[in-house]
Structure 1
Amino acid sequence: MLKILGAALVLLAATLAGWLQARQFANRPNHIRRLILALKRLETEIMYGFTPLPDAFRRIGEQSGEPIKAVFTTAADNMSSPNRYTAQESLQLAAEKVWKYTAMKAPEQEVIRQLSYTLGTSDRKDQLGHLATAVRQLESEESTAREEQARYEKMYRSLGLLCGAFIVILFY
């Protein structure tokens, strides 16, 4: 009886591990899409709202869902007193702090890092060009993420179950 319970727990743990990894593949394109929408909102705030960056970051954060919300609200907090970081520093610090809670990978973080160098340092037209470039790069990453999702999501679900079954078989 105890062996059966142990086997069931091993099988359950391996299956859950496979499902969690599969969920990462499923969440990544959604998080990238949310980030793209947030950057498009930022573009609108800069172009039509004439909103200062800390206020724009906070507004975009409030409109976005987690984990994108955390990136922009953290950046807004970093730009507000008592911190008073620049737009570059605040966005980079926010990305570093919050990125581990997203399903996004290093290429998306690099896009945000590159974008941070230009925010708040040039005129509106130049910033809009850089935002459009970042959106195009993220759209490319989103299509790659969707391909990876189609390729690997089902595989990891099955692999978790099969690895658990293999471990159970080895113990018997």
Structure 2
Amino acid sequence: MLKLAGAALVLFAGTMIGFMQAAKFAQRPRQIRQLIHALQRLDTEIGYGQTPLPEALARIAAALTAPVSTLFAEASAKLASGNGETVSVCWEQAFKAGWQATSMRPPERDTMLRLGETLGGSGAEDQLKHLKLAMHQLQAEEQAARDDQQKYEKLCRSLGVLTAALVVILMM
């Protein structure tokens, strides 16, 4: 009886690990899409609204869901604190601190960090060009993420169940 309960727990745990890994593959394209949407809003705020950057980032954060919204909210808070740091430094600190909570990978982070180097340091026209470039790069990453999702999501689920089943067989 105890072996059966242990086997059921191992099978359940292995299955859940597989499903959690598969969920990361499903979340990545959604989070990249949120980043693209956020950059489109930032493009509008800079190009048409001419909104101050801390306020624009706060508005964007309010329109997104966590964990992506946290990145923009943190950047906005750091800029609004007025402790003399540049936009680039605040942006980098916010994105490096909050990135672990996302399912995104280094290419997306690097794109956002490169964008942060140009925000606030040049004219609106130049910033808009860099925003468009970042959006195009993120769109390419989103397509790659969708391809990865199609390839590996089902594989992770199956692998979790099968690995747990193997452990149960070896235990018996």
TM-score, normalising length from structure 2?
0.98
**Unaligned regions of 5+ residues in structure 2, if any?**
none
Question: 2 CA distance for matches of 1:82 and 1:7?
Answer: 57
**Unaligned regions of 5+ residues in structure 1, if any?**
none
Question: 2 CA distance for matches of 1:46 and 1:147?
Answer: 33
- 3-state SS, counterpart of residue 117 of structure 1: helix
What is residue 117 of structure 2 aligned with on the other side?
A: 117
Count of equivalent residues: 172
In the TM superposition, residue 152 of structure 1 has moved relative to its aligned partner by 0.2
Q: Deviations over 1:69-101 (max 9, x none)?
A: 101110011111253422111111111111111
What is residue 136 of structure 2 aligned with on the other side?
A: 136
What is residue 96 of structure 2 aligned with on the other side?
A: 96
In the TM superposition, residue 33 of structure 1 has moved relative to its aligned partner by 0.1
Question: 1 CA distance for matches of 2:169 and 2:64?
Answer: 46
Instruction: Establish whether residue 61 from structure 1 lines up as the match of residue 52 from structure 2.
Output: no
Distance 1:76 1:84, change over 3 A: farther
Asked if the contact 1:43/1:131 (under 8 Å) is kept, the reply is yes
Question: 2 CA distance for matches of 1:11 and 1:132?
Answer: 47
Asked if the contact 1:78/1:84 (under 8 Å) is kept, the reply is no
* RMSD of aligned alpha carbons: 0.8
Question: 1 CA distance for matches of 2:81 and 2:25?
Answer: 38
Question: 1 CA distance for matches of 2:27 and 2:83?
Answer: 32
**Identity %, equivalent residues:** 47
- The amino acid of 1:47's aligned partner reads G
What is residue 71 of structure 1 aligned with on the other side?
A: 71
Question: 2 CA distance for matches of 1:40 and 1:48?
Answer: 12
In the TM superposition, residue 103 of structure 1 has moved relative to its aligned partner by 0.7
- The amino acid of 2:132's aligned partner reads A
What is residue 170 of structure 1 aligned with on the other side?
A: 170
